[in-house]
Structure 1
Amino acid sequence: MNKSIFIILLTTMSIHLYGQKKRIKRDSINSLKEISVSGTANKFASNKVSSSLRLKTEIAKIPQNIQIVTNELLKSQNITTMMENVTRNISGAQMNEHFGNYANINMRGFKLPSFRNGMNIDIGYGPLATDLSMVENIEFVKGPSGFMTSAGAPSGIYNVVTKKPTKRSINEIGFSGGSFNFYRGNLDSGGALTENGKLQYRFNAMYQFSETNRQFENNSRYSIVPSLKYEFNDNTSLTTEFTYQKAKQMLSASYVFAPVEKGLGSLDRDISHIDQNYPSSDIEEVNLFVDFNHNFSSKWSINTQYMIMQYNQLGYTNWVYGIHPSGYTQRMLNNFDTKALNELAQVYINGEISFLGTTHKLLTGIDYKKLNSKYDWSHTATYDVIPFNLFQPVYGKAVYPVFNRESGLTNIGSGTEYTSIYAQDEIWFLKDRLRVTLAGRYFNGKTNDDYKNSVTIKRISPRVGISFDITKNFSIYSQYDNSIIPNYGTNKEGKLFDPEYANNIETGLKKSFLRDKLKTTLSVYQITKKNVLVADPNDILNKLQLGKVRSEGVEFDIQGQLSPELNIVLNYAFTEVKTIEDINPLNIGKRIEGHSKHTTNGWINYNFKEDSFLKGFGTMLGYQYLIDRSTSNWGVDNKTILPDYLRLDAGINWRYKGLNLALNVNNLLNKYLYSGGIAGTVAYWQSEPGRNWRTMLTYKF
């Protein structure tokens, strides 16, 4: 009943907003309303970064590999959260399995911190994966993101850019359905609230429910994201955005287990190792974001941002005790409770001066973050009265424990607080063909735990970058960066993790074709990191630190438009990540978990011409191919290789005026696709569903 009410609410609100739009009689708004998107739009490529990355320079001239996943591309692939194959659009990035509540994305061999509107919202085991109903673009910054954000990671970041208030009238409602009882409703509305257009709004809302290819497993979530912008004048504005995300998810319910001798992927793809009435986890994110921008002139501006995020999770995870070779075991339930308060602030100034025939684009700023988080997995109990057979499961006999949570979160707590100051001078020479970037960061931070232990970090890190235009649309770049970031949290014994130090060297080529409608990037890099967090080979809930790890690779990306009808994304990456120093000599030379040595992805979208018999129709075809994959937990033998991963997807869509109807079919080849690892004597993995479908109907008005 609640689900139906929510869908009806979305529909009712869209009708109300449509009537509201009619009352705003501004010629500029009405004229914009008449603009329609045709096949000539460059849907899959963007030449500019968002303002949240601070830079005023176009992507082609930045000494950095930056790839942008556009909203149109996300819609073409009919995906709904950061956990659904967003990474297929970026070379060298892949989604790694975990509990199922947050986007555990690796790139260049290491986990990427999650950013939203240029602010670091990462809290370790969270936050909740962002729903794409609120997303305008997703920016993947490869390599040292400190070039744009004072506290990123050497391997890069992904920055979610949310939909912002606008003067232009926007109203879109969508409904989706698909395999495994999937259904979803969403609303996106925006426009001016006053006659003079100074007060603008944006409102996004969604509800989603889905089951899976395994028995007893289901998840639901909803989000509400209103935002307002007020333009005091042409040079000054204030934007506020409120985000509320709520989910009921069965964390780690997708894990399948077997004795290590039997191996990964040895059981049926759709087998379930949970039971009837498996408890859902309650997850909640409340987020307030404020942005103030003022332009002193056409060349000088100041931007101030503030965000406070509260994350609460009352959760459960599923695991097994030791497994008998015949398959008998006892399943166990852990509590997995989290409370986190993340407070962030930024102030930065952009400016431009000319001096002795050169142009200096200046950037200086300060970042502040204070994160207090508590994790509790202190309660563990079996829910099997008699042993459970993993090979021939018999369901309906589970007795779930009731955990006493009255004492609150008592297991592990940690805090992180830092201030990072950044200054940069981007110098343009030789009629703007040569650009040299000189920059530095000062990082001052501290991590602490509940036992009054603390680690203090103070360090200055340099940055040098260079970019040169070989021709008007062909450039070469190179950069060096030295960085330090705190490792959040503690291990299961409560010991704080040491900070992570890194050096990065990178060079690359950028070339655009077809009047900048098709973008290509080729990069070569080497990252050396110290104190890297990795999974504990004997305990999935624990993490360990290695001495020194080196990641080396080559990446190639193509994005854009080959013709007015044909848009493409193609990429390839070679990635090799190994331990090169450690107190345990057995670790030296071992690969690090969670990456593939070779990855290649493609997505092609063809829309038939306006004068074609099939006018309005479009087709889509995509693939993902991962070769020589390391397991999610590399284990002790350094030999457990996952099979190669090949997935083929296709789709068809039809557009008529503001109406769009799309059907996507995933895993066309119906392959058994899975990822996992070894923990002690237990092989564990998570499988993707076989051939499945999803349809989407949207209407713009």
Structure 2
Amino acid sequence: MIVRYPFRAAALVAGLPLAFALGVAPAHALPDDEPPAVENEEVTVHGVRQPYRGNFTMREIPQAIATIDAGTLRENGLLRLTDALDLNASVVRQNTLGGLWDSFAVRGFVGDENLPSGYLVNGFNAGRGFSGQRDVAGIERVEVLKGPAAAVLGRGEPGGSINLVTKQAQFGRTFGTAGVQYRSFDTVRAEGDANVALTGNLTARLIGYAEKGDTFRDTVSQRRWGFLPSVGLAIGAGTRLIYDMEWTRVAVPFDRGIVVLNGNFRTVPRDRFLGEPGDGDTVARTFGHQLRLQHELGSGWTLLVGASHRNTRLTGASSDAETATARQKLFIDGRTLSRQRRTRRYTSGHSVLRAEVAGEFTTGALRHRVLIGGDVDYFDTDQFFTRFRGPAVNATTTDRQGYVLDLLNPVYGRWPVPAGVPITNRLDVQRTAGAYVQDQISVTDRLQVRIGGRYDDFLLRVGDRLTGVAGRRQRARFSPQAGIVYEVSDPLSLYAAYGQGYRANIGADARGAVFEPETSTSIEAGVKLSTLGGRLSGTLSVYQLQKSNVLATDTLNPGFSVAIGKARSRGVELDVTGQLPRGFEVLVSYAYTDAEARSQVRDPAFSFQILPGDPLINIPRHNVNVQLARHMTIGDRGALLGAGVQHVGERNGQTGTTFALPAHTLARVFGEVDLTPETTLFASVANLFDAHWYANSYSPQWVQPGAPRTATIGVRARF
């Protein structure tokens, strides 16, 4: 049974007094996971250690890891996780359900294209529900954990996992920021972040945001708000308790984008909305909690215990372009778009319990750094979906039957709203338990070897209320990992890694068959460089990933997936970030990705076919992001000026076809200047040269156009 929103009233009672007592103010970039000790107190408090990480520097980890910190997000004026991930070339955009969830691929692999992409929040599995696109308010940094890490993380994609480290209560400090900004298309946003030390051992941090305005799409406006408090309690000298809450709401019309007829991406203007404004907003709601306890056991050993629970709900209606050729009048007269009408009620409940012990010991001359842990993961998703679609187009088919829209002269509200019939009424229940162990052994001062593995046992139940058919699948598997790190010199190290992964595929295909779990094998090798006293670092890596039981979008049954068997991705990546002399900051990220199907799948009833060698959808071979910024002084005022460019290569736009999205190049500029020691004026311009670009595609009838030139200006105060 899915838990709905039993904690909402309780959260209001608990959260609002703190909000009124302490005030709300926006995002402040925390320095790192190690806040300073509390002065003049007997208790010395450090930050809560990140799970799955252990006591390692980045150079010692046999894995490519890229970090996007709060300062970079703030300087670029980025507001959504999707936009933040554009800064790393290994991550590319995927189908976002009309802009209502986060979906991305890491190293070419996305998972199930009909569900949001999962990510970690402070090490907990999250992001799998229907919560709308994640706002960056409350995010301290975004970690792109690439490569074969599934043997510890569990249930992640073999290409990598995204971990969001949230802004948490900092002990013994009182500070805050507040800001307001105005963006193109009459959008206004206010933010707040207040960290208040109530006592030496108790701190509350309140983060909130609210945003409202139009978009570049005709008739499409949006409203968003979020409340993200964090409370920290130090219990003695070595125990820290952190509670975080997530309460958000997104309201925006469901928007499938534009249509592309015969390869013409100017078939309609990029701002033309092809749905029905009368359908109103689709609303995504989230309410979640995290509770984490860290206890120092002594002699370098640490215990982490935590729990999280998150409810999501997405409801609304949309009028979407018909994708079936036989039902689409557009292919006959070139201007009359046949449409479907759909309604959705998607809910989910996700609970995670996890515990980990980390520490080290020696055996003879060998130093062992060990992680031992386990987790239990419950995820339920309940989907109710109705659809109206018109008949096949012939000489007697009326425009009303096709629920059409004239692309050249759209008249909204022309037809009565057609009634749909239930297509999906299904409950998917996933129960997973796992345990893992990892040992990184220092063989010499320069050579380290990592070995480990994870055992997972999962149960998946699918209950179809329309057919009365209940499916069930239970599997277990051990996933090993191994890695090696060799320090060539003080700034340079080499690494290699191997890992296997295992992930349950949620749901069933259009015929009700429960999917087999997905398995993967990953190999990776690379070189890491750290120079200028650690201020400049870089990683060059090569990899190959193979997956079995891969899912892809079923283009003839939207909302369903089809198993395409095997897929492979291989590539080369370069990430460089850091600070150069004279106040310069640099970010370079490049990825060459060759991702393709490795099996042949054919549905004889519909002639839908995927062949070995077919590229995976929305994955460019070349993706690059370069950015340069400089901190300077104007008079006695601090200032920053920066610019960046992103190039995304041509991508497949529909599974199993030759339809492709064109390459695009986007430029951006940003800057800020201190008006007073406590006040900063900031501005940015995205898509500086107003390029026409396309973020992702599901089919030629559902193509998401990217935003035109977008300017932002605002002011931020701090205390």
Correspondence 1:541 to 2:540:
no
Kindly report which structure 2 residues correspond to 1:643-658, keeping only aligned pairs within 5 A, or say none.
643-655=662-674, 656-658=676-678
Which deviates further from its counterpart, 339-348 or 52-61? 52-61
User: Could you tell me how far apart the structure 2 residues matched to 1:132 and 1:564 are?
Assistant: 29
Q: Does structure 1 conserve the Cα–Cα contact (< 8 Å) formed by 2:80 and 2:134?
A: yes
Correspondence 1:551 to 2:554:
no
Which residue number in structure 1 is paired with residue 196 of structure 2? 191
Q: Does structure 2 conserve the Cα–Cα contact (< 8 Å) formed by 1:264 and 1:683?
A: no
Distance 1:107 1:73, change over 3 A: same
Distance 1:238 1:275, change over 3 A: same
Q: Does structure 2 conserve the Cα–Cα contact (< 8 Å) formed by 1:64 and 1:142?
A: yes
Kindly report which structure 2 residues correspond to 1:46-65, keeping only aligned pairs within 5 A, or say none.
51-65=50-64
Which residue number in structure 1 is paired with residue 433 of structure 2? 419
Residue 265 of structure 1: how far off its partner (Å): 4.3
User: Could you tell me how far apart the structure 1 residues matched to 2:363 and 2:40 are?
Assistant: 43
Which deviates further from its counterpart, 344-353 or 261-270? 261-270
Residue 600 of structure 1: how far off its partner (Å): 0.6
Partner AA of 1:188 in structure 2: D
Q: Does structure 1 conserve the Cα–Cα contact (< 8 Å) formed by 2:183 and 2:713?
A: yes
Correspondence 1:666 to 2:680:
no
User: Could you tell me how far apart the structure 2 residues matched to 1:10 and 1:273 are?
Assistant: 44
User: Could you tell me how far apart the structure 2 residues matched to 1:31 and 1:266 are?
Assistant: 68
Residue 276 of structure 1: how far off its partner (Å): 3.3
Correspondence 1:511 to 2:529:
yes
Which residue number in structure 1 is paired with residue 237 of structure 2? 234
Correspondence 1:117 to 2:141:
no
Q: Deviations over 1:598-647 (max 9, x none)?
A: 011012211214xx54842221101110123222x2343xx222211110
Which deviates further from its counterpart, 523-532 or 392-401? 392-401
Which residue number in structure 2 is paired with residue 21 of structure 1? none
User: Could you tell me how far apart the structure 1 residues matched to 2:684 and 2:40 are?
Assistant: 34
Match of 2:386 among 370, 375, 378: 378
Which residue number in structure 2 is paired with residue 641 of structure 1? 660
Kindly report which structure 2 residues correspond to 1:290-369, keeping only aligned pairs within 5 A, or say none.
290-321=291-322, 322-324=328-330, 325-326=332-333, 327-369=335-377
User: Could you tell me how far apart the structure 1 residues matched to 2:531 and 2:108 are?
Assistant: 30
Partner AA of 2:459 in structure 1: K
Correspondence 1:212 to 2:215:
yes
Partner AA of 2:137 in structure 1: S
Which deviates further from its counterpart, 346-355 or 647-656? 647-656
Partner AA of 2:541 in structure 1: S
SS in structure 1 of the partner of residue 212 of structure 2: strand
Correspondence 1:598 to 2:622:
yes
User: Could you tell me how far apart the structure 2 residues matched to 1:341 and 1:488 are?
Assistant: 14
Q: Does structure 2 conserve the Cα–Cα contact (< 8 Å) formed by 1:121 and 1:127?
A: no
Q: Does structure 2 conserve the Cα–Cα contact (< 8 Å) formed by 1:137 and 1:161?
A: yes
Correspondence 1:523 to 2:541:
yes
Gaps of 5+ in 1: 1-8, 19-26, 33-47
Residue 266 of structure 1: how far off its partner (Å): 2.8
Distance 1:556 1:411, change over 3 A: same
Q: Does structure 1 conserve the Cα–Cα contact (< 8 Å) formed by 2:388 and 2:419?
A: no
TM-score by length of 2: 0.86
User: Could you tell me how far apart the structure 2 residues matched to 1:329 and 1:80 are?
Assistant: 34
SS in structure 2 of the partner of residue 75 of structure 1: helix
SS in structure 2 of the partner of residue 133 of structure 1: coil
Between Structure 1 and Structure 2, how many residues are aligned? 653
Kindly report which structure 2 residues correspond to 1:101-500, keeping only aligned pairs within 5 A, or say none.
101-111=100-110, 113-123=118-128, 126-167=130-171, 168-194=173-199, 197-251=200-254, 253-259=255-261, 261=262, 263-321=264-322, 322-324=328-330, 325-326=332-333, 327-380=335-388, 387-401=404-418, 411-431=425-445, 433-450=446-463, 451-500=469-518
Which residue number in structure 2 is paired with residue 41 of structure 1? none
User: Could you tell me how far apart the structure 1 residues matched to 2:677 and 2:86 are?
Assistant: 30
Partner AA of 2:665 in structure 1: L
Distance 1:618 1:404, change over 3 A: same
Q: Does structure 2 conserve the Cα–Cα contact (< 8 Å) formed by 1:630 and 1:641?
A: yes
Partner AA of 1:234 in structure 2: A
Which residue number in structure 2 is paired with residue 608 of structure 1? 632
User: Could you tell me how far apart the structure 1 residues matched to 2:372 and 2:647 are?
Assistant: 41
Distance 1:147 1:192, change over 3 A: farther
Distance 1:583 1:320, change over 3 A: closer
Which residue number in structure 1 is paired with residue 396 of structure 2? none
Which residue number in structure 2 is paired with residue 5 of structure 1? none
Q: Does structure 2 conserve the Cα–Cα contact (< 8 Å) formed by 1:335 and 1:380?
A: no
Q: Does structure 1 conserve the Cα–Cα contact (< 8 Å) formed by 2:93 and 2:696?
A: no
Partner AA of 2:611 in structure 1: N
Residue 522 of structure 1: how far off its partner (Å): 0.3
Residue 14 of structure 1: how far off its partner (Å): 8.9
Q: Deviations over 1:476-519 (max 9, x none)?
A: 00000011110122334433221100000000000012111011
Residue 283 of structure 1: how far off its partner (Å): 1.5
Distance 1:28 1:465, change over 3 A: closer
Distance 1:500 1:16, change over 3 A: closer
Q: Does structure 1 conserve the Cα–Cα contact (< 8 Å) formed by 2:191 and 2:208?
A: yes
What percent of counterpart residues are identical? 22
Q: Does structure 2 conserve the Cα–Cα contact (< 8 Å) formed by 1:258 and 1:323?
A: no
SS in structure 1 of the partner of residue 442 of structure 2: strand
Correspondence 1:86 to 2:74:
no
User: Could you tell me how far apart the structure 2 residues matched to 1:239 and 1:591 are?
Assistant: 44
User: Could you tell me how far apart the structure 2 residues matched to 1:537 and 1:16 are?
Assistant: 49
Distance 1:28 1:514, change over 3 A: closer
Partner AA of 1:685 in structure 2: V
User: Could you tell me how far apart the structure 2 residues matched to 1:201 and 1:222 are?
Assistant: 20
Q: Does structure 2 conserve the Cα–Cα contact (< 8 Å) formed by 1:49 and 1:139?
A: no
User: Could you tell me how far apart the structure 2 residues matched to 1:677 and 1:445 are?
Assistant: 32
Q: Deviations over 1:457-478 (max 9, x none)?
A: 1111111100011011210000
Distance 1:329 1:404, change over 3 A: closer
SS in structure 2 of the partner of residue 246 of structure 1: strand
Distance 1:222 1:17, change over 3 A: closer
Q: Does structure 2 conserve the Cα–Cα contact (< 8 Å) formed by 1:479 and 1:507?
A: yes
Residue 238 of structure 1: how far off its partner (Å): 1.4
Gaps of 5+ in 2: 1-15, 26-35, 42-46, 111-116, 323-327, 391-398, 464-468, 603-608
Q: Does structure 2 conserve the Cα–Cα contact (< 8 Å) formed by 1:537 and 1:635?
A: no
RMSD, matched Cα: 2.7
User: Could you tell me how far apart the structure 1 residues matched to 2:204 and 2:575 are?
Assistant: 35
Distance 1:398 1:210, change over 3 A: farther
Q: Does structure 2 conserve the Cα–Cα contact (< 8 Å) formed by 1:254 and 1:687?
A: no
SS in structure 2 of the partner of residue 277 of structure 1: helix
